Structure 1
Amino acid sequence: MLEPGIESLIPTLVVLITAIVLKRALEALIIGALVGFIMLQQHLFMSGFLNAVLQSISNETVGWIVLTVAMFGSIITLLVKSGSASAFAGSLTRYIKTGPQALMATWGLGLLIFIDDYLNALAVGSAMKKVTDKLKVSREMLAYVVDTTAAPVCILLPFSTWAIYVSGLLESNHVAAVGEGMRAYISAIPYMLYAWVALLMPPLLASGKLPLIGGMRKAQARAAQGQTVPLGFVEDVDADDDKLSDQGRVFNFVVPMLALIGFTWLFNVDILKGAFATLVLIIVMYSAQGLMRLHDIFEHSLTGMKSMVEVIAILIMSFVLKDVNDQLQLTPYVIDVATSWVNPLLLPLITFVSLSLVAFATGTFWGLYAVALPVVIPLANTMGVDVHLMIGAVISAGAFGSHACFYSDSTILSAQGSGCPPMAHALTQLPYALIAATITALGFLLIAWL
């Protein structure tokens, strides 16, 4: 393992530059990881790369993600092929007449599905894309609103997987006493500034108070001409291929969606178990109604799993890149550089900015929290800085990374659920994420000075 140094930035920079040039996430991750293993193992880089891929695939967390995403692929495809998604969209369009109203409905639905960012990202986009298509809202805009109500909503509510995880970290790192982690987490919610700022931006954008910028302006102009899907992009599951659309019923869409939330909550916020139970329920419901033959149900389920192959590949490669960055000690390097500039008034700002860079570069957030909290909290105690403010700065950094990183799980899944290429979504939402991050940084500076 190399000593932490500026060269640890090289693989991540390669990924970012390649992703922007190719407008493809998977290829960029592979190239960046290969560069990292060349740095680490020279002529043995290929063995190191393949071993990292195998370790990533066998990782328990990766396996959980792969199964969860595959289950969602099946659920989404069955909702589409049964005509239930069309029926739901049709019912909404009786009340939603304009693009801004559709965006506000998407935002509101995202607020309701707060249990898990995966559930939010995949379910909301799948539910709303036919509505936004009809009202000439670009898929890029839909994906942005969906992504903005994924991690930012989940961290602000103490009933989500993010809150449960971080509260456990606070207890294990002795920031809070055993059983008091959630109380400490709730005390830090007012300081999770990035989530608050990001969450307010979609309504401003929908109402015209926030202007269209760069790629989003072009996407909306294209959608106004009737082309809501990015040019050249073909969905694996065609939303217009509802073979049984005439038989679709809102009931057959709403019940599985509510069941997905309910089962996830029932199984201690385990979305994999919730998704599996929901898939079983859909199979029973659709076959009992004669809506589909059992053979067709399983065929569509397999088709849905196949539609998630690229998403799964990107997520696996993001873990490979994380392994490279861990070996190059990227996170300790950035933290060491940042803390060399520290004074009490700048600590929240420097913490947010430096960890945001790490989260954006690595695409990992929960791991970042595990590394950063044991460093940041003792530093805050030593310098007399409010611990809850510092918790808010750390969590805000992870939320920004989840929102902005080109290959983060939230970005990839929001794009998939909304029927948008991942890089098209990432590039069009990045200016808005950076605006929110800038406001957040100024907010931390102001709070520290008050």
Structure 2
Amino acid sequence: MTDYGILSLLPVAVVIVLVFFTKRTAVSLLVGTLVGAVMLYGTGFAKPWLDVVYGVMGSDLWIWLVLVCGFFGSLVALFEASGGIHGFTAIAAKVCKGEKRTLVASWILGIVTFVDDWLSILSVGTAMRRATDRFHIPREMLAFLSNATATSICVIVPTSTWGVFMISQLVATDVCTSEAGMSTFVQVLPFLFYPLVALLCGFLYSVGILPKIGPMRKAYALAKEQTAPVEESPVHESGKKPHALNFLLPIVLVTVVTILTREILYGTLLCLVFCALLYLPQKLLTPGQFLDTAMSGFKSMIGVLAIVTCAFMLRDINSLLGMPEFVIGAAKAAMSPQVLPVAAFLIVTVLAVAAGNFWGICAIAFPVIIPIAQALDANVLLTAGAIISATAAGSHLCFFGSEATLACSATQIENVRYAQTATPMLIVPVVASVLLYLAAGFLIG
């Protein structure tokens, strides 16, 4: 097998350069996969590259993503068409009397919908978009805040989809038994420095204690120059006043079903049925309009799915090039018990951003880094916390990842705008986490 070494990073570098020049995320990712395929197979790259495409699109995970993402799109379209979003916005308008209250309300909504990061991102983006527009808050800020809050809270809560996955990694790498999975995760919680700091920073940015920096400040300046949107009529086209419960009840149902079943797909599917039972008797939509709206919402997520699919293809190409192994191997020689936690945080963050796949990188990192921690007699729980934190950081920093893409879709901005505005804001929690893991490594590692 060819050792590509540092050249294994070339496809990712191509993607990043192209995105900022073309502003087209999916196309840039696709070109990155082609560059990797040419490196792997030369002029005969076409068939092996198509095999990667078929492998991604034929996987159970991809099919799951299509269904969940599409159903989310259907739900958002139905919330809009039923007037549920308008009803919620009307209530939010009574509470959100300015920029700070609006952003804090968005932050709180992101925390309340803790069960899944996609649910949190889409709920905040769709529900608060009009409120932020009203106070000239740039949508880039809403995209940043929704993503920064969603993954952070999901990583911290053991009963969320992220929490359950992380517990499975602790068990799979023999950090604990399956019976002790929950209690061990609770012990790791104090070492989840990045999501804890990112949540705090989200609040501090919201209330203005931390200033908006870089391109985000420019986005604020541009938003201030725009004309305030005209207040929409509070009357639904059916002649009825929109009710916030038409938004809130389905969101509660998705949350409860997902907690009980540990499967967001069941929650979204059942929620679609519930919306039909909720909206049709109120005559907010006819059966034909309901189906047309659901289908239109599903189709509206095709752009998101294209980006996520290409990111998965890039992940597989990177794996064939040996990129994760190269990065981890290059750092192994320099590791000591004291620096292992901070090294793990930085390495896994870089890998997660480069691959655009967070649980996948986490699943690769755990069985590689945890044995190193055990061999060096380092603090295993601290090291595990660093890996989990890095996975969250990667989901925030990777502008073509599924979470950032959904945040951009919900707030209706381009991925490149998210990259330009959110990255400088995320430097604060990243740097704080690096310092905390470095200090903890020497104090308790």
TM interval, shorter chain, is: over 0.9
Instruction: Give the C-alpha shift of residue 132 in structure 1.
Output: 1.3
User: How do 1:367-446 residues align onto structure 2 when only pairs under 5 Å count?
Assistant: 367-446=360-439
Whether contact under 8 Å (2:138, 2:223) holds in the other structure is yes
Whether contact under 8 Å (1:86, 1:245) holds in the other structure is no
Secondary structure of 2:262's aligned partner: coil
Over residues 70-112 of structure 1, what are the superposed CA-to-partner deviations in whole Å (9 max), with x where a residue is unaligned?
Answer: 0011110111112221111011101210011110000011111
Over residues 386-412 of structure 1, what are the superposed CA-to-partner deviations in whole Å (9 max), with x where a residue is unaligned?
Answer: 111000111111111111101111101
Match of 2:273 in 1: 280
Q: Pick closer, same or farther for the CA change 1:81–1:339 going to 2, 3 Å.
A: same
Q: Alpha carbon RMSD of aligned pairs, Å?
A: 1.9
Letter in 2 for 1:177: T
Match of 1:221 in 2: 221
Q: Pick closer, same or farther for the CA change 1:242–1:26 going to 2, 3 Å.
A: farther
Whether contact under 8 Å (2:8, 2:323) holds in the other structure is yes
Match of 2:295 in 1: 302
User: How do 1:21-420 residues align onto structure 2 when only pairs under 5 Å count?
Assistant: 21-226=21-226, 243=237, 247-266=241-260, 268-420=261-413
Identify unmatched segments of 5+ residues in structure 2. none
Instruction: Give the C-alpha shift of residue 225 in structure 1.
Output: 2.1
Q: CA separation in 2, counterparts of 1:239 and 1:400?
A: 40
Task: Report the more deviating stretch, 243-252 or 337-346.
Answer: 243-252
Q: Pick closer, same or farther for the CA change 1:196–1:157 going to 2, 3 Å.
A: same
Secondary structure of 2:136's aligned partner: coil
Q: CA separation in 1, counterparts of 2:148 and 2:321?
A: 31
Q: CA separation in 2, counterparts of 1:438 and 1:269?
A: 33
Secondary structure of 1:149's aligned partner: helix
Instruction: Give the C-alpha shift of residue 240 in structure 1.
Output: 12
Secondary structure of 2:431's aligned partner: helix
Q: Pick closer, same or farther for the CA change 1:47–1:180 going to 2, 3 Å.
A: same
| Identity among equivalent pairs (%) | 33
Instruction: Give the C-alpha shift of residue 243 in structure 1.
Output: 4.7
Whether contact under 8 Å (1:137, 1:228) holds in the other structure is no
Match of 1:232 in 2: none
Instruction: Give the C-alpha shift of residue 242 in structure 1.
Output: 7.1
Q: CA separation in 2, counterparts of 1:333 and 1:281?
A: 49
Secondary structure of 1:190's aligned partner: helix
Q: Pick closer, same or farther for the CA change 1:244–1:409 going to 2, 3 Å.
A: farther
Identify unmatched segments of 5+ residues in structure 1. 230-237
Q: CA separation in 1, counterparts of 2:370 and 2:406?
A: 32
Instruction: Give the C-alpha shift of residue 134 in structure 1.
Output: 1.6
Q: CA separation in 1, counterparts of 2:394 and 2:267?
A: 26
- TM-score normalised to structure 1 length: 0.94
Match of 1:235 in 2: none
Instruction: Give the C-alpha shift of residue 227 in structure 1.
Output: 5.8
Over residues 410-450 of structure 1, what are the superposed CA-to-partner deviations in whole Å (9 max), with x where a residue is unaligned?
Answer: 10111112222222122210112222111111111111122
Q: Pick closer, same or farther for the CA change 1:155–1:75 going to 2, 3 Å.
A: same
1:448 aligned residue (423, 428, 441): 441
Instruction: Give the C-alpha shift of residue 3 in structure 1.
Output: 2.4
Secondary structure of 1:288's aligned partner: coil
Secondary structure of 2:177's aligned partner: coil
Instruction: Give the C-alpha shift of residue 226 in structure 1.
Output: 2.9
Match of 1:233 in 2: none
Instruction: Give the C-alpha shift of residue 246 in structure 1.
Output: 5.3
Instruction: Give the C-alpha shift of residue 228 in structure 1.
Output: 8.2
Q: Pick closer, same or farther for the CA change 1:228–1:12 going to 2, 3 Å.
A: farther
Letter in 2 for 1:323: D
Q: Pick closer, same or farther for the CA change 1:394–1:239 going to 2, 3 Å.
A: farther
Q: Pick closer, same or farther for the CA change 1:211–1:99 going to 2, 3 Å.
A: same
Q: CA separation in 1, counterparts of 2:438 and 2:118?
A: 32
Q: Pick closer, same or farther for the CA change 1:429–1:78 going to 2, 3 Å.
A: same
Q: CA separation in 2, counterparts of 1:31 and 1:255?
A: 43
Secondary structure of 2:45's aligned partner: helix
Over residues 11-63 of structure 1, what are the superposed CA-to-partner deviations in whole Å (9 max), with x where a residue is unaligned?
Answer: 01111111122222111101100100000111122222222112211110111
Letter in 2 for 1:181: G
Letter in 1 for 2:40: L
Instruction: Give the C-alpha shift of residue 245 in structure 1.
Output: 8.0
Whether contact under 8 Å (1:81, 1:244) holds in the other structure is no
Q: CA separation in 2, counterparts of 1:23 and 1:336?
A: 33
Over residues 110-165 of structure 1, what are the superposed CA-to-partner deviations in whole Å (9 max), with x where a residue is unaligned?
Answer: 11111111111112211111111122211110111100111111111111111111
Q: Pick closer, same or farther for the CA change 1:4–1:188 going to 2, 3 Å.
A: farther
Secondary structure of 1:94's aligned partner: helix
Whether contact under 8 Å (2:212, 2:425) holds in the other structure is no
Letter in 1 for 2:104: M
Q: CA separation in 2, counterparts of 1:121 and 1:313?
A: 19
Q: CA separation in 2, counterparts of 1:360 and 1:406?
A: 8
Q: CA separation in 1, counterparts of 2:228 and 2:69?
A: 25
How many residues align? The count is 441
Q: Which runs of 4+ in 1 moved over 6 A?
A: 238-242
